[in-house]
Amino acid sequence: MNQNCETMSQKDRILLAAYDYISNEGYANASLREIAAKAGVVLSQLNYYFKNKEGLLIEVIQLMIDKYLLEVEERLKRGANAKERVSYFIKYFQEMLSENPKLFRLLYDFSSMALWSDVFGKQLSNLFEKLSILVEKYILIDIPEDSFLKNESPNAIARILFGTMFGTAIQVLLDPKEERLPESLTAIEAIF
Amino acid sequence: MNQNCETMSQKDRILLAAYDYISNEGYANASLREIAAKAGVVLSQLNYYFKNKEGLLIEVIQLMIDKYLLEVEERLKRGANAKERVSYFIKYFQEMLSENPKLFRLLYDFSSMALWSDVFGKQLSNLFEKLSILVEKYILIDIPEDSFLKNESPNAIARILFGTMFGTAIQVLLDPKEERLPESLTAIEAIF
DNA sequence: TTATAATTCGGACGTTCGTCCTAATATATT
DNA sequence: AATATATTAGGACGAACGTCCGAATTATAA
């Protein structure tokens, strides 16, 4: 994510500064002036490259989504079977949560905005859909025949798996004592 | 939640109007003027009864939390054993999600704000904690000895259970086709 | 009835914000 | 070198917002 600022295009500098600032302060609290300042750019440049604030956020989010999906798939490929892949999937989630909580905060912030905006809503449900497909493809293809999950549709299971991590993650983020993170998530492994 | 407006105190009218408006439009998009108008009250009354916008939201959220916790417990009491109580718990969640999605939207909106504000953060993690305790008390007391969840701490399980619903719910809210709601949530039952 | 407190009301204040416009400068094309 | 295009820069604009204040009204208590 980091690169020498001088070698980056103006647009990329804005994009990265926006990602950084928004995920630190929240979209609602992030002003275009502040983002421009962090990017070392003049305010009007933001309207030049991205039509408006919404346009900027859309590109920031898309940046995050693409990067995130790539990394998830890379992790999923590491496992030899469904059980291993679930393990890698969860481990990746745990790492992100403890090492890069900014990305999670951005995701949650964006999720709430998606509830009020059609554009954001479509973008986010597309992410959920893609994640679902990944989980189906890498995990649910060889789920044991005797699993109690066998009766449910792959999509439902995938959404539960991801939903569980999404839902427990925010509890972890808000928990003043962070000890609960490891056990909460690893317990999910037992389900598969 | 509804009562004849004339019989309500001014403060309650503001509170309800705020709940209604914020859960429809989102906190960031809800102006005090608009809330005052919906409540049939003059703007400055909002500063009289609640110091500022944050103070108003805190009371709105507390209203929601209290009502919500009461209803959850009432549902949990209906079941005779853990399995039944899980069933009631999930059924209640499903009902809320389809009949009263406003409450969920408010919850998600508030969750994202909780990430940036200490006050909100404590309020929300208190809700999570209380929910955890309820789940522990009513569901995890008589979980089967042979359950694979037996090795995990009650708190972790409770948080997974609630987290799963929280995480799948937002996917449902954003899903243009709502068909996936029933199966996604009922599948959770199988786990217990 | 009078005095004191609580509530209601209208309006103004200053700030912050996203957006837009125009001029200046750099880059590319012919 | 001349022209056209793309980018950078600074600043202004109006709108919307939360907050605050003082007066008017109503309720309460003595």
Kindly identify which residue of chain A lies nearest to residue B109, measuring between CA atoms.
Answer: A112
User: A191 and chain B: CB distance < 8 Å anywhere?
Assistant: yes
φ, ψ for residue A97 (rounded to 5)? -65, -35
For residue B57, how many other CB atoms are within 10 A of its CB? 24
Per-residue pLDDT of chain A (192 residues; tens, 9 = 90+): 444 455 688 999 999 999 999 999 999 999 999 999 999 999 999 999 999 999 999 999 999 999 999 999 999 999 998 889 999 999 999 999 989 999 999 999 999 999 999 999 999 999 999 999 999 999 888 766 666 666 777 888 888 889 999 999 999 999 877 665 666 777 777 776
**CA B39/CA B16 separation, integer angstroms:** 8
Is A165 among the domain residues? yes
Q: Quick one: which H or E segment has residue A48? A: helix A43-49
The alpha carbon of B171 is separated from its chain's Cα centroid by a whole number of angstroms, namely 16
Single-letter residue type at A48:
Y
Residue entry with tokens 């999570």: B128
**CA B130/CA B2 separation, integer angstroms:** 26
Q: Do B128 and B182 sit in the same domain of this protein?
A: yes
**CA B44/CA B133 separation, integer angstroms:** 40
Is A142 among the domain residues? yes
| Cα of B7 to nearest chain A Cα, Å | 32
Q: Do A46 and A70 sit in the same domain of this protein?
A: no
Query: For residue B11, which nucleotide's C1' is closest to its Cα?
Result: C7
Q: Do B99 and B167 sit in the same domain of this protein?
A: yes
Q: Do B137 and B101 sit in the same domain of this protein?
A: yes
CB A59 within 8 A of CB A13: no
Q: What pLDDT was estimated at residue A1?
A: 45
Both tokens of residue B108? 């998600």
User: A143 and chain B: CB distance < 8 Å anywhere?
Assistant: no
**CA B23/CA B35 separation, integer angstroms:** 11
DSSP 8-state secondary structure symbol assigned to residue A143: -
pLDDT tens-digit map of B4-62: 455 688 999 999 999 999 999 999 999 999 999 999 999 999 999 999 999 999 999 99
Q: Do B40 and B121 sit in the same domain of this protein?
A: no
Is A57 among the domain residues? no
| Cα of A9 to nearest chain B Cα, Å | 30
**CA A149/CA B92 separation, integer angstroms:** 22
pLDDT tens-digit map of B97-149: 989 999 999 999 999 999 999 999 999 999 999 999 999 999 888 766 666 66
Q: Do B15 and B97 sit in the same domain of this protein?
A: no
CB B132 within 8 A of CB B139: no
Q: Do B80 and B115 sit in the same domain of this protein?
A: yes
First CA to last CA distance, chain A: 33
Q: Do B41 and B86 sit in the same domain of this protein?
A: no
SS3 labels along chain B: CCCCHHHCCHHHHHHHHHHHHHHHHCCCCCCHHHHHHHHCCCHHHHHHHCCCHHHHHHHHHHHHHHHHHHHHHHHHCCCCCHHHHHHHHHHHHHHHHHHCHHHHHHHHHHHHHHCCCHHHHHHHHHHHHHHHHHHHHHCHHHCCCCCHHHHCCHHHHHHHHHHHHHHHHHHHHHCCCCCHHHHHHHHHHCCC
pTM of the model: 0.91
Is A82 among the domain residues? yes
Confidence class for position B190, pLDDT limits 50, 70, 90: confident
**C-alpha distances in angstroms, B118 versus A30, A94, A99, B41, B58?**
18, 23, 21, 30, 12
Tell if the CB–CB gap between A112 and B112 is shorter than 8 Å. yes
Q: Which of B149, B167, B175 has its CB closest to that of A165?
A: B167
Is A56 among the domain residues? no
Q: Is A42 near strand C, with its CB below 7 A from some atom of it?
A: no
Single-letter residue type at A170:
I
Q: Is A117 helix (H, G, I), strand (E, B) or coil?
A: coil
| Cα of A94 to nearest chain B Cα, Å | 14
Q: What pLDDT was estimated at residue A158?
A: 87
Q: How many domains does chain A have?
A: 2
Is B106 among the domain residues? yes
Q: Is A4 near strand C, with its CB below 7 A from some atom of it?
A: no
**Domain range enclosing B25:** 1-50
Q: What pLDDT was estimated at residue B157?
A: 84
Q: Do B84 and B158 sit in the same domain of this protein?
A: yes
Q: What pLDDT was estimated at residue A148?
A: 65
Q: Do A72 and A166 sit in the same domain of this protein?
A: yes
Give the CATH number, domain containing residue B39: 1.10.10.60
Tell if the CB–CB gap between B180 and A156 is shorter than 8 Å. yes
Q: Is B112 near strand C, with its CB below 7 A from some atom of it?
A: no
Is A55 among the domain residues? no
Q: Is B45 near strand C, with its CB below 7 A from some atom of it?
A: yes
Q: Do B16 and B109 sit in the same domain of this protein?
A: no
User: A2 and chain B: CB distance < 8 Å anywhere?
Assistant: no
Report the residue of A61, A65, A148, A184 to disrupt the B interface, i.e. the one with the largest count of B CBs within 10 Å: A184
Q: Do B127 and B71 sit in the same domain of this protein?
A: yes
